[in-house]
Structure 1
Amino acid sequence: MIRLGLIVNPLAGIGGAVGLKGSDGAATVSRALALGAEKKAGLRTLQALKLLVPLQEQCEFVTCPGEMGAIWLEQAGLSCTVLDLTLVAANQTCREDTLEAARLMLKEALDVLLFAGGDGTARDICSVVDNTLPVLGIPAGVKIHSGVYGITPVASAEVICQLVKGGLVDMRESEVRDLDEDAFRRGVVRARHYGDMRVPAVGHFIQAVKQGGAEVEELVLADIAATLQQEMEDGCLYLMGSGKTTQAIMAAMGLEGTLLGVDAILDGQLVGCDLNEQGILALLDNYPIRQAVLSVMGGQGHIIGRGNQQFSVTVLTRIGRDNINLVSTKTKITALAGRPLVIDSGDSRFDTDWAGTMEILTGYQDRILYPVG
């Protein structure tokens, strides 16, 4: 089950059709409405949501009241949980409503946050969410300079469809940019970078496959190893799971790992080899900062419960879901044909709690987002 948040800025783009070159600020909105402007953001959101209706059994939506989300999900025939969001004003939403909605969404354990708006909305979302969770914009504004939106509402929906179906969906750091509207109205284009957010996108790999491209496994494993080495933090304990992929990472570091066991690395040195559950727990007692590196089992897609039972529910709970690093080649993920990754810990409640989506390191600074069943 993929858990999706939805925030709609119903006033996004309202100034465009009446020639106001933007929609920022209460004065601009009032003027646009006085000129006869119509709200279009909700309808553009509805375009995207209709594509998700066939996948509704695999999606769970969390949204805002009324025009900020619930109305459009209802019109699309999609059920949802509505946040307890009290709007600043009863008759018209504002920037503060978007900010508060984003803050509430951070508490909802989402896989992806969808939002409809323009660059101003993206700025607001970024100021709260930053890079803590994947976001994807449904374009509905006058100015769309930020790289966090789909090309069209339908394109945004297609990315979510690919994710739900288990397609290869890249994770990218994309810029949030916005124009100075006052300067723009004077004919001066002045854009500013306001931050970056993590955005799921159907990436170049699918295109390359159509052109006959193929991965060279040894090179990909070297790229994965190089990225992980660069990202390793001093003083952090790394528990390396079993498998050829993690073995390649160990070899790239000049360390002799255990192919079918669990090893521990601290500051580039082995501090534990072929550890059992108790050995791992003993290390966790001594090192409060820790991460685990797990590979995807080829053909079956297991990440927990096949060949790495040392990572028990007790161990995994202490490590935490956010501290799990998944590694795999894209060839191995493609071979799953859209089937989700599998957690088979022996505890059904734990397996359900850890379901959703997880990022997988698949190359040099290259990650995809993929469903976990």
Structure 2
Amino acid sequence: MMSSNRLVVGLIINPFAGIGGAVALKGSDGEETRAKALEMGAEPKAQLRAGLALEVLTPYRDKLEFVTCEGAMGAQQLAQHGFRYRSVYSQETKNSSGLDTQQAVRKIQQQGVDIIVFAGGDGTARDVYQAVDEQQLVLGIPAGVKIHSGVYAVSPKAAGRVLENIVTGKLSSIKAADVMDIDEALFRQGTVKARRFGEMLIPAELEYVQAVKMGGKESDELVLADIAAEVIERADDEHLIMGSGSTVAAIMEDMQLQNTLLGIDWVHQQQLLASDLTEQQLYERLCQLDAGQVKLVITVIGGQGHIIGRGNQQLSARVLDKIGRDNLWVVATKNKLEALQGRPLLIDSGDDSLDQQWSGLLSVITGYHDEVLVRLEAVS
């Protein structure tokens, strides 16, 4: 929706986004957290992060028109960088809140903007999602402690590059990206509990837009939460045979179920029906169900690539034959897969014929609505 050959951009900055990060508060949600962060000497960084995105766009000032909010929620940065803008929202209190973000989104949308750009974290993305129209194009400038949602660019400058591509007429596809967030209170206690809230439309510039997080303990925890959310959503009414390993354990933890780390558990509708099952017990249970009612959830042994035959001998050839290859859900982080350096996943069930039948390309769940293809081979 170009106006006078200009790209019309809505800009919203959450001034408090990320304020708790530097002082180890794991987030910025809530008035108490913000107040504590300020007491501890934290300095707001969201405006500076938004400014980095705007710097990329300064050569295109004559091709851009901004619709924004008064003061720290947008106008200050736009004025500082010399952009043309109109303010359509002013917060009523000294410190802005999530409600201000939602009201600003509604006001800005009424101006018929081409895209709404917002600086913040996952909490800000949730607030935008609450108010935005389904068909409104958006893009996040990462400025928060938690940047888990797929609606964010990989960096502030990358967000600027996405807009640069649009304003210069380069072809830009759009895609639906997930809005995710974690419970900050639990996160501060060391527990990662992620939830998908919905999705918003973003420009599909793959080199600039955030994909599943990689690297670092905290990021790996968030990826595991993503994987758990995918498995739980897929499961529906199906029975789950939960294999051993830390990735599967993270899924069990997300369901708040006791896990047998080095054993096999049986789950149905997020209820633990049996723990630490033997091969015989597994086979007997499988004989009572129709094909397709059961899914086997297993992970990859880090550094080795085995999915069958190492630490899960309960999964015998007859058990696997009852389950069927189509009912296999392999879960792993991309870090773990990349550590294999191109080597295939391995199966060693003790039955050469079954191992050959199961060999071939395999889809591995690596995040929420995120899969990669990896080759599975029999151990020679």
- TM-score in terms of structure 2 length: 0.52
Aligned to 2:141: 138
2:97 match: 94
1:124 corresponds to which residue? 127
Q: CA RMSD in A?
A: 1.0
- Matches of 1:131 and 1:173, distance apart in 2: 10
Q: Distance in 1 between matches of 2:26 and 2:133?
A: 27
Instruction: Supply the distance in 1 between the matched residues of 2:68 and 2:125 (Cα, whole angstroms).
Output: 17
Match of 2:162 in 1: 159
* Native 8 Å contact 1:98 1:124 kept in 2: yes
**How far did residue 60 of structure 1 move?**
0.7
Corresponding position of 2:34: 29
Verify the 8 A CA contact 1:131 1:197 in the aligned structure 2: yes
* Rg larger in structure: 2
Percent of aligned pairs sharing the same letter? 48
- For 2:67, the equivalent position in structure 1 comes to 62
> Within 5 A, what are the aligned runs for 1:76-95?
76-83=81-88, 85-89=89-93, 91-95=94-98
Q: Secondary structure at the match of 1:174?
A: strand
Alignment of 1:1-373 (within 5 A): 1-83=6-88, 85-89=89-93, 91-203=94-206
AA partner of residue 164 (structure 1): V
CA–CA separation in structure 2 for the residues paired with 1:36 and 1:196: 35
- What is the CA distance between 1:170 and its match in structure 2? 1.6
- Match for 1:2: what amino acid? L
Whole-Å separation in 2 of the counterparts to 1:93 and 1:108: 22
Structure 2 CA distance for aligned equivalents of residues 174 and 13 of structure 1: 21
- Residue pair 1:130, 1:195 contacting (<8 A) in 2 also: no
- Which secondary structure state, in structure 2, belongs to the residue aligned with residue 4 of structure 1? strand
SS in structure 2 at match of 1:160: helix
What 5-or-longer segments of structure 1 have no aligned partner? 205-373
**Partners of 2:197 and 2:92 in 1: CA distance:** 25
Q: Residues 24 and 181 of structure 1 are in contact (CA less than 8 Å); yes or no, is this contact kept in structure 2?
A: yes
Structure 2 segments unaligned to the other structure (5+ residues): 1-5, 208-380
- The answer to whether the 8 Å contact 2:69/2:90 transfers is no
Deviation, structure 1 residue 130: 4.4
Task: Give yes or no for contact 1:170–1:200 (8 Å, CA) kept in 2.
Answer: yes
Contact 2:64/2:84, CA 8 A, preserved across alignment = no
C-alpha deviation, 1:110, in angstroms? 0.7
The residue aligned with 1:357 is none
User: Match of 2:27, as an amino acid?
Assistant: G
Aligned residues: 202
TM-fit CA distance, 1:103: 1.1
Checking the alignment, whether the CA contact within 8 Å between 2:150 and 2:179 is kept in structure 1 is: yes
| Local SS of the residue matching 2:190 | coil
Greater relative contact order structure (CA < 8 Å, 6+ sep): 1
